[in-house]
Structure formats: C-alpha cells, structure tokens
Amino acid sequence: MPIEIRELIVKVKVNERENNNAATTDPNARKQERDASEDAIIAECVEQTLLVLNKKKER
C-alpha cells in the first residue's frame, strides 16, 4: 500500500557562534556535527512517519 505524505514540517534551529573560530575548527569535528545533525533529522522523520501510520491504523 503506498504512503502519501500530505504535510511535511521542517523545523530548523540556527545557533550563532560567539567567536570567529568556527572557520578554524577541526574538519573531523565539523563532519561529526553534520553527521549528528543528519541523524537527528532522519530520526525525526521516522518518528513522524510512524505517528502518521499509527493514526491511520486507528481509523
């Protein structure tokens, strides 16, 4: 059975860094931050999809 997503909500948090050392940080640290951010986005998408599916089952 195909799943139709009618509504997609994207929440974004932007953190302003207080110092200008962001450009000089370790590239591995930036990659880890990016990976963690992607994991959080994926986890939220999965959670929302499961909520929609559970609501559909209740009907």
pLDDT at 3 (0 to 100): 80
pLDDT at 51 (0 to 100): 93
pLDDT at 59 (0 to 100): 67
pLDDT at 8 (0 to 100): 82
pTM for this entry:
0.48
Q: CB–CB of 58/8 below 8 Å?
A: no
pLDDT at 53 (0 to 100): 92
Query: Rounded distance, CA 21 to CA 17, Å?
Result: 9
Q: Which residues neighbour 52 within 8 Å (Cβ) at sequence distance 6 or greater?
A: 3, 5
Mean per-residue pLDDT pooled into runs of 10, the chain (59 residues)? 82 69 67 87 92 86
